[in-house]
């Protein structure tokens, strides 16, 4: 019981820092693909080490995902091929809250299992973005007539117009691993006109935040939720937000 209270307090402190006390530096992330990520190795200068601090912008986490190989034992393509119970519920939610003529974005799509499923259901305006080069190249070969982009999440979102997509969805640690110096919720809300559907861990991972509050602040209301798992700290939430 004491251990759980300590964990809960730690999570609340992290959420408070990441939601309310972290400055945003969206301009830092504009064109970050060309300026930073395409370099083979980061310049380990003063700024590189300084960026380890919680309030300084950094893209270093993206470098790992950019270079993951398809056969990687931990995060390789084999982990994103099959539909699990959670992912089946996600695809059901996508179909429920979208129309076949909607413009739909899979944020951090990896090898595109959801997009492939939607394409077979005759959805026409499908988009996918992921930072992993091998995943995108492989997916482009196997899934035709889908607009795939190889880019960091931050760079991609910043270059899209307001309400460009009707529906946006994402699965897993996509949002949870974005350093809060980038205002990811504000950006996905800005480019989406109807629904945002997320399958995330609300209370754990690298950068926990008050996710529901951030969506509400950006004029999206929660219209559906489903939880997977019993323990609070390991629960996954399927959340559907609608633009007000």
- Answer whether residue 242 shows pLDDT above 80: yes
- Answer whether residue 42 shows pLDDT above 70: no
120, HSE (Cβ side, Cα atoms, 13 Å): 8
The predicted pLDDT at position 77 comes to: 83
Domain residue ranges in the chain = 2-243
Q: What is the pLDDT of residues 141-194, one digit of tens each?
A: 889 999 999 999 999 999 999 999 999 999 988 999 999 999 999 999 999 999
Dist. CA 43–CA 24, nearest whole Å: 23
- Answer whether residue 37 shows pLDDT above 90: no
Instruction: Give the CATH class of 2-243.
Output: alpha beta
Which residue is associated with the tokens 């999440």?
153
Q: Which of 127, 183, 181, 125 is nearest to 158 (CA)?
A: 183
Q: Which of 71, 82, 75, 242 is nearest to 168 (CA)?
A: 242
Among residues of the chain, what percentage have pLDDT more than 90? 71
Lowest-pLDDT choice from 112-121, 178-187, 201-210: 201-210
Q: Please tell me what DSSP assigns to residue 134.
A: H
Could you tell me which residues are beta bridge partners of residue 242?
Answer: 195, 221
Which residue is associated with the tokens 């919680």?
54
- Answer whether residue 87 shows pLDDT above 80: yes
- Answer whether residue 233 shows pLDDT above 90: no
Handedness of CA 198, 199, 205, 211 (dihedral sign): positive
The predicted pLDDT at position 52 comes to: 84
Q: Please tell me what DSSP assigns to residue 34.
A: I
Which residue is associated with the tokens 């602040």?
217
- Answer whether residue 46 shows pLDDT above 90: no
3-class secondary structure, 20: helix
């Amino acid at each position: 019981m004491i251990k759980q209270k300590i964990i809960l307090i730690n999570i609340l402190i992290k959420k408070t820092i990441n939601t309310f006390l972290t400055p945003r530096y969206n301009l830092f992330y504009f064109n970050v693909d060309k300026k930073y990520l395409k370099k083979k190795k980061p310049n380990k200068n003063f700024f590189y080490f300084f960026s380890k601090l919680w309030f300084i912008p950094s893209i270093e986490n993206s470098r790992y995902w950019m270079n993951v190989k398809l056969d990687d034992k931990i995060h390789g393509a084999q982990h994103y091929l099959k539909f699990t119970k959670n992912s089946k519920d996600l695809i059901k939610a996508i179909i429920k809250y979208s129309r076949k003529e909607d413009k739909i974005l899979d944020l951090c799509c990896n090898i595109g299992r959801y997009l492939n499923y939607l394409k077979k259901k005759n959805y026409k305006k499908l988009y996918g973005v992921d930072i992993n080069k091998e995943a995108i190249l492989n997916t482009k070969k196997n899934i035709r007539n889908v607009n795939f982009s190889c880019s960091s999440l931050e760079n991609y979102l910043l270059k899209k117009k307001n309400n460009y997509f009707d529906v946006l969805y994402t699965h897993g640690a996509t949002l949870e691993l974005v350093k809060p110096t980038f205002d990811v919720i504000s950006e996905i809300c800005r480019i989406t006109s109807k629904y945002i559907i997320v399958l995330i861990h609300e209370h754990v991972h690298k950068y926990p935040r008050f996710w529901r509050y951030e969506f509400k602040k950006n004029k999206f209301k929660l219209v559906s939720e489903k939880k997977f798992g019993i323990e609070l700290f390991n629960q996954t939430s399927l959340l559907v937000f609608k633009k007000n």
